[in-house]
């Protein structure tokens, strides 16, 4: 099984929104083979807490326009690592320090990446 077209499209919409707010190191993985709870992870980072929050807000706005609503939003109080759960896609927006420390891309490196196009 691979990520649905809907999940891939949602990743692209979210990645473009993150890019518009200058998110860094934007990558997406198809985790559908490893996890039953979601099809894809999108990871991105920012150099400060304020920018993390700005990226999260932009992603939520653009994804709502696409027709999806978050099921859960966690970690936004501290602005160091915010998780947005849209069901088919889970988005991690991290402060650069958390991104380097937790290295989620290392954990999911065996999963196929999702082409996000030009950002």
| pLDDT tens readout for residues 28-63 | 999 999 988 899 999 999 999 999 999 999 999 999
74 in any annotated domain: yes
Rounded average pLDDT over 65-72: 94
Domain that holds residue 33: 5-107
Q: How confident is the model at residue 119 (pLDDT cuts 50, 70, 90)?
A: confident
Asked if residue 12 belongs to a domain, the reply is yes
What CATH code is carried by the domain that includes residue 31?
3.30.460.10
Domain membership of residue 112 (yes or no) is: no
Q: Is 101 part of any domain? A: yes
Cα–Cα distance for residue pair 87/99, rounded to 1 Å: 22
Q: Domains in the chain: how many in total? A: 1
Q: How many CB atoms lie within 10 A of CB 5?
A: 8
Q: What is the structure's pLDDT at 76?
A: 79
The answer as to whether 30 is a domain residue is yes
Structural domain contains residue 117: no
Between helix 49-66 and helix 5-20 the angle, nearest 10°, is 140
Look up the pTM and report it.
0.93
- Taking all residues of the chain, what is their mean pLDDT, rounded to a whole number? 94
Backbone angles phi, psi at 22, to 5 degrees: 65, 35
Specify if 63 maps to a domain: yes
């Amino acid at each position: 099984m691979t990520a649905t077209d809907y999940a891939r499209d949602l990743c692209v919409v979210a990645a473009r929104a993150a890019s518009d707010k200058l998110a860094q190191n934007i990558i997406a993985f198809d985790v559908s083979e490893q996890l039953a709870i979601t099809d894809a992870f999108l990871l991105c980072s920012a150099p400060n807490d304020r920018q993390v929050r700005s990226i999260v807000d932009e992603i939520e706005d653009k994804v709502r326009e696409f027709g999806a609503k978050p099921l859960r939003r966690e970690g936004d109080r501290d602005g160091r690592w915010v998780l947005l759960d849209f069901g088919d896609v889970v988005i991690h927006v991290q402060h650069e320090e958390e991104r380097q420390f937790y290295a989620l891309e290392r954990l999911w490196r065996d999963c196929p990446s999702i082409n996000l196009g030009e950002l």
